[in-house]
A and B are shown apart, each in its own frame.
Chain A
Amino acid sequence: MFKFLFDFTSERVTRAAYYAIRLVKHRKEISDIHSGLVVDGLPSEPSLEDQELAAQIIREIQKTERVPLKKLDESKAEQYIQGLTNIVLEVARRSSGYDRESGEQLLNSLREVN
Chain B
Amino acid sequence: MSKGYNGKILRVDLSEGKVWTEEPEELIYRTHLGGAGLAVQYLLKELPQDVDPLSPYAAAKSLLTGGHGEAEASGWWEPEPKRAGYDAIIVKGRASLPIHLWSDDREAEIRESSKAWNMIADLLSRDTLYMADKYKENLDTRVKQWKLISRENSLGQMSPNTHIGEYQGGYGTTDHRKYYLWLYNALQKLFRFASRSDDGLSRPGSESQSEDKQIRPLILLYSANAWLAYIIQQIYYNEEHYVWATDHLAPKSPWYDYTMPASSCPRRIYRILAQAVSSGDLHCTKIQEIKVGILKGAAHKRGIGVINEEQEQEIASIVDAAQVSDFRPLVYLIPFTPEVAKIARKVSVRDRAHPLSVEYVIESLPRRYFHIIELD
Interface residues of A (CB under 8 A from B): 10-11, 14-15, 17-18, 21-22, 25-26, 29, 35, 37-44, 77-78, 81-82, 84-85, 88-89, 92-93, 96-104, 106-107, 110-111, 113-114
Are B321 and A104 closer than 8 Å at their CB atoms?
yes
Are B317 and A106 closer than 8 Å at their CB atoms?
yes
- Tell me if B295 counts as interface (CB < 8 A to partner A): yes
| A25 contact set on B, CB distance < 8 A | 263, 285, 289
State how many angstroms separate the Cβ of B300 from the closest Cβ of chain A: 5
Closest to A37 in B: B351
- Tell me if B283 counts as interface (CB < 8 A to partner A): yes
| B323 contact set on A, CB distance < 8 A | 107
- The majority secondary structure among interface residues of chain B is helix
Are A29 and B261 closer than 8 Å at their CB atoms?
yes
Known contacts A18-B296, A110-B232; 15 additional CB pairs below 8 A are A39-B351, A41-B345, A43-B363, A81-B285, A82-B283, A82-B288, A92-B320, A93-B316, A96-B312, A98-B313, A98-B320, A103-B320, A106-B321, A107-B323, A113-B234
With contact pairs A21-B289, A40-B348 given, residues A11 and B303 touching in the complex (Cβ less than 8 Å): yes
Are A78 and B299 closer than 8 Å at their CB atoms?
no
- Tell me if B72 counts as interface (CB < 8 A to partner A): no
| A44 contact set on B, CB distance < 8 A | 242, 296-297, 300, 363
Instruction: Fill in one digit per residue for B314-347: 1 if any A CB lies within 8 Å of its CB, else 0.
Output: 1011111111001000000000000000000101
State how many angstroms separate the Cβ of A102 from the closest Cβ of chain B: 5
State how many angstroms separate the Cβ of B280 from the closest Cβ of chain A: 16
Are B354 and A29 closer than 8 Å at their CB atoms?
yes
| A38 contact set on B, CB distance < 8 A | 351
- Tell me if B94 counts as interface (CB < 8 A to partner A): no
| A102 contact set on B, CB distance < 8 A | 314, 317
Question: In the complex, what distance in Å separates the CA atom of A11 from the CA atom of B313?
Answer: 12
- Tell me if B192 counts as interface (CB < 8 A to partner A): no
| A92 contact set on B, CB distance < 8 A | 295, 316, 320
State how many angstroms separate the Cβ of B209 from the closest Cβ of chain A: 33
Question: In the complex, what distance in Å separates the CA atom of A89 from the CA atom of B317?
Answer: 9
Are A96 and B303 closer than 8 Å at their CB atoms?
no
Are B288 and A100 closer than 8 Å at their CB atoms?
no
State how many angstroms separate the Cβ of A36 from the closest Cβ of chain B: 8
| B347 contact set on A, CB distance < 8 A | 39
With contact pairs A100-B320, A110-B231 given, residues A43 and B292 touching in the complex (Cβ less than 8 Å): no
With contact pairs A29-B353, A39-B345, A41-B345 given, residues A89 and B320 touching in the complex (Cβ less than 8 Å): yes
**22 A-B pairs, CB-CB below 8 angstroms?**
A18-B295, A21-B288, A21-B289, A25-B285, A37-B351, A39-B347, A39-B361, A42-B345, A43-B304, A44-B297, A44-B363, A77-B285, A81-B288, A84-B288, A89-B295, A92-B295, A92-B316, A96-B309, A98-B316, A103-B317, A103-B319, A103-B320
Q: Count of A-B contacts with CB under 8 A?
A: 122
With contact pairs A41-B345, A98-B313, A110-B318 given, residues A85 and B292 touching in the complex (Cβ less than 8 Å): yes
Are B263 and A100 closer than 8 Å at their CB atoms?
no
| B228 contact set on A, CB distance < 8 A | 110
Question: In the complex, what distance in Å separates the CA atom of A17 from the CA atom of B104?
Answer: 59
Are B300 and A106 closer than 8 Å at their CB atoms?
no
Interface residues of B in 166-198 (CB under 8 A from A): none
Are A35 and B350 closer than 8 Å at their CB atoms?
yes
Question: In the complex, what distance in Å separates the CA atom of A100 from the CA atom of B289?
Answer: 20
| A84 contact set on B, CB distance < 8 A | 288, 292
Are A103 and B318 closer than 8 Å at their CB atoms?
yes
With contact pairs A43-B363, A104-B321 given, residues A21 and B326 touching in the complex (Cβ less than 8 Å): no
Most B Cβ at <10 Å: residue of A15, A96, A104, A107: A107
